[in-house]
Structure 1
Amino acid sequence: MRFLIYLTRGPKWKEEVSLHNQPFMPEHAVYVQKKFDEGKILLAGPFGDQTGGAIIIDAESEKEALKFALSDPAVINGSFTYQLKPWEGLMSKLENRNPQFGQEYIDFKHGVQKELGIIY
């Protein structure tokens, strides 16, 4: 299973300090690196505006992904808060997945939406 861990500023975030110099960022980086080296992390990194970051992790279960997020030193110590979301990943250049959405898909979904009474 794949999950998105969305990391944002936590209660102990220091506003006057850049993301890379926040408390527990070195420990966070090493923690994520370890899982990356184990092949569990697909993508990870900070947002360009330095307000947080995201991790895409492969885990056996939601419980395993949650344990990873909760054990992150930057989460434990309040530099980050997190949201955990299951990730479906329909399109992926990394895995050569392309659903080939086009007009046929639009027509099909509009038919479903009409049946549901949400479009006319």
Structure 2
Amino acid sequence: MNRYLVLVMRKPAFDPSLGPAHQAFLDELRAQGRLELSGPFADASGGAYLMRAPSLDAARADALRDPLHRHGSSTVTVHEWRAA
């Protein structure tokens, strides 16, 4: 499995009530052994997480299930990461 960096950036209409659903989504990835790191940015503009997936398409499909994205609160971008 490859590593993917997922950036989750807040939109102006960010809904903080989606936080628990977003956390449950991350907990699901963690329970599957696919989430390595996650956390918010200090400036509250969004956050990032490092996940494992078999391909960029699979990582993107998973990341787009994030409730913050599905409900239009955040944009999600996925980058294959070749950590040194």
TM-score by length of 1: 0.65
Asked if residue 6 in structure 1 is aligned to residue 7 in structure 2, the reply is yes
User: Runs of 4+ in structure 1 displaced over 2 angstroms?
Assistant: none
Structure with larger RCO (C-alpha < 8 A, sep 6+): 2
CA RMSD of aligned residues (A): 1.2
Identical counterparts, % of pairs = 31
Structure 1 letter corresponding to 2:23? A
Whichever of the two has the greater Rg, that structure is 1
Q: What CA distance in whole angstroms lies between the structure 1 residues aligned with 2:37 and 2:52?
A: 10
Is the contact between residue 23 and residue 79 of structure 1 (CA under 8 Å) also seen in structure 2? no
* Partner residue of 2:79 out of 77, 80, 85: 85
Shift of 1:64: 1.1
Structure 2 letter corresponding to 1:5? V
Q: What CA distance in whole angstroms lies between the structure 2 residues aligned with 1:81 and 1:49?
A: 16
Partner of 1:74: 68
After TM superposition, list the pairs within 5 Å mapping 1:75-114 onto structure 2: 75-90=69-84
Structure 2 letter corresponding to 1:10? K
Paired residue secondary structure (1:71): coil
Question: Runs of 5+ in structure 2 lacking a partner?
Answer: none
TM-score by length of 2: 0.91
Partner of 1:18: none
Question: Runs of 5+ in structure 1 lacking a partner?
Answer: 15-21, 91-120
